[in-house]
Amino acid sequence: MIRRRSAPLSAFAMLVLAGVFVPAARSQSPAPDPVASSIEQGQTHLDESFGLRGRHRHLDVHVDPDSQTHFKFDFRTFYFDREKYDDSVSKAFAAGGWVGAKTPFFLDRFSFGVTGYTSQKIHGDSDEDGTVLLEPVQAGYSVLGEAFVDVRLVEGLHLFAGRKEFDTPFLNPHDNRLTPNTFEAVVIQGQTDLGPDGATLKYGAGYFDRIKNRNADQFISMAIDAGATVERGVVTGGALYQKDDFSLGAIDYHSADILNIFYAQSKWELPVILPIADHAAPSLAVQFIDQRSTGDELLTGGAFAVQQIGVKGDLPVGDALFTAGYTLASGGADLRSPWSGYPGYTSTQVEDFNRAGEGALLLRAGYEIPWIEGLSTYALFVNGSDPDDPTEYRKDELDLNLQWEPVGEWLSGLSVRLRYALVEEHGPVTRGLRDFRVICNYGLEY
């Protein structure tokens, strides 16, 4: 089979030319603020789900989505270097990103969006594949990842159909490489005000037929992507209640004869006893995950059921954010996340700490460095326990992150990020994994 390769110069030209149309654009950030949030890049939690993001994921909320055609442009370079437990190496240097546009609503009802994505190799040896920056083996790609219609059924209720990004815990962009996951789907999403006390209900439901993975140029069946040998889609539905500083929600994903995933989460801010931070308060969040086989059990050929519980607390103190979290998985099977980044509170740069019977404790500290505007850092450590499988062993992970987002008119939209992770596996012989990444991102939306 001959793999079809994309044209690097044409793809790069598409990205550069798009910048001509966004001279007054607003900036975006591809990574969470490490001081404002302890959520890892690539994750989506329920309080970030069900948004009416047909215009674009990062567009400033004060921009009227009906007034004009919106453009988005994101250019990234990414260096990835991982030395694995067996001393093999995955390494590549690549550039890419995306260009997209979304029209105003015609007849106050119909809007159309389209986004092209590309990733092109700058350097990468064939025997160092596996970075997920490029297609196997170290091949560039380009793909029309979004092509959708946004139908405003009534105010606050939209129907999306076609290829599109979506944000939920187990169906999301997993945007921590050069291009994100996108899906072929039909989805309804809405938001309703529940009364004068400020409570809202966000909700969504839909059918997801196919997925384009982060480093792919083709859409494949959701069931095939999960590891089955038959084609099945995923039916999903969920809701999120929010009032003041409290939220509670749940969502379910069902693929016939393959897999059912249920996710629930609650989060609330705690009373501020001492003035520990400006405009911020301590918060506590809990999560519950249930995964099990369905119908004819075609994913593994047998029945399985596994759960994970998690709790996380955030404590802002001045320019710092301190976090502690704990997760515990039941036995019987490892948890899965075939269509997303894993949303567990102890999922980090390398490991998810979601193997059968595995518990994990996370400690994290983020800090905004005051003497260099836009510079921030965080460090985290996860201590894992032995999983149930006697052939696998407990792991610890240390992550270090340094991120600079310069301010100013000419540098708005630029970010530079260095990420380092060290994982140790404590078996009969202690083995290590090292992961180093350098990401430069320039993103604009207009």
Residue spans per domain, the chain: 8-445
Give the residue from 323, 319, 327 showing the smallest Cα distance to 345: 327
Q: What is the pLDDT of residue 62?
A: 38
What 3-state DSSP class applies to 14? helix
Q: How far apart are CA 142 and CA 96, in angstroms?
A: 9
Q: Record the tokens describing residue 423, joined without a space.
A: 């994982």
CA end-to-end span of the chain: 41
Q: How far apart are CA 87 and CA 109, in angstroms?
A: 56
Homologous superfamily, domain 8-445: Porin (2.40.160.10)
- The residues, any chain, with a CB within 8 Å of residue 87's CB and separated by 6 or more, are none
Q: How far apart are CA 378 and CA 420, in angstroms?
A: 11
Q: Record the tokens describing residue 22, joined without a space.
A: 């966004």
Taking a C-beta distance cutoff of 8 angstroms, is the pair 15, 359 a contact?
no
Q: What is the pLDDT of residue 331?
A: 87
- The residues, any chain, with a CB within 8 Å of residue 273's CB and separated by 6 or more, are none
Q: What is the pLDDT of residue 279?
A: 58
Q: Compute CA 352 distance to the chain's CA centroid, rounded to the nearest angstrom.
A: 13
3-state helix vs strand vs coil in the chain, percent to 5: 5, 50, 45
E runs forming strands in 130-227: 141-154, 157-164, 182-193, 200-212, 220-221
Measured in residues, the chain has a length of 446
Burial (Cβ within 10 Å: 0-12, 13-18, ≥19) of residue 98: buried
Q: What is the pLDDT of residue 288?
A: 98
| Preceding peptide of 137 cis, ω within 30° | yes
The DSSP bridge partners found for residue 121 are: 94
For β-strands 320-329 and 305-317, DSSP reports them as antiparallel
Taking a C-beta distance cutoff of 8 angstroms, is the pair 231, 224 a contact?
yes
Largest CA distance in the chain: 68
Residue the block writes with tokens 């399985």: 304
Q: How far apart are CA 155 and CA 238, in angstroms?
A: 20
Q: What is the pLDDT of residue 34?
A: 82
Burial (Cβ within 10 Å: 0-12, 13-18, ≥19) of residue 264: middle
Q: What is the pLDDT of residue 35?
A: 81
Q: How far apart are CA 21 and CA 52, in angstroms?
A: 24
Q: How far apart are CA 238 and CA 205, in angstroms?
A: 6
Q: What is the pLDDT of residue 440?
A: 97
Exposure string of 417-445, with b = 16+ CB inside 10 Å and e = fewer, is: bebbbbbbbeeeeebebebbbebebbbbb
The DSSP bridge partners found for residue 401 are: 378, 419
> What are the pLDDT tens digits along the chain (446 aa)?
333 344 444 443 444 333 333 333 333 446 678 888 899 999 999 988 987 644 344 333 334 555 689 899 999 999 999 999 999 999 999 999 999 999 999 999 999 999 999 999 999 999 999 999 999 999 999 999 999 999 999 999 999 999 999 999 999 999 999 999 999 999 999 999 998 888 999 999 999 999 999 999 999 999 999 999 999 999 999 999 999 989 999 999 999 999 999 999 999 998 765 555 555 789 999 999 999 999 999 999 999 999 999 999 999 998 999 999 999 999 889 999 999 999 999 999 999 999 999 999 999 999 999 999 999 999 999 999 999 999 999 999 999 999 999 987 778 889 999 999 999 999 999 999 999 999 999 998 88
The DSSP bridge partners found for residue 283 are: 269, 314
Distances (CA, A) of 327 to 110, 284, 309, 361, 392: 43, 14, 6, 7, 18
Q: Compute CA 341 distance to the chain's CA centroid, rounded to the nearest angstrom.
A: 5
Q: How far apart are CA 138 and CA 184, in angstroms?
A: 26
Report which secondary-structure segment, H or E, holds 224: helix 222-226
Q: What is the pLDDT of residue 336?
A: 97
Q: What is the pLDDT of residue 58?
A: 39
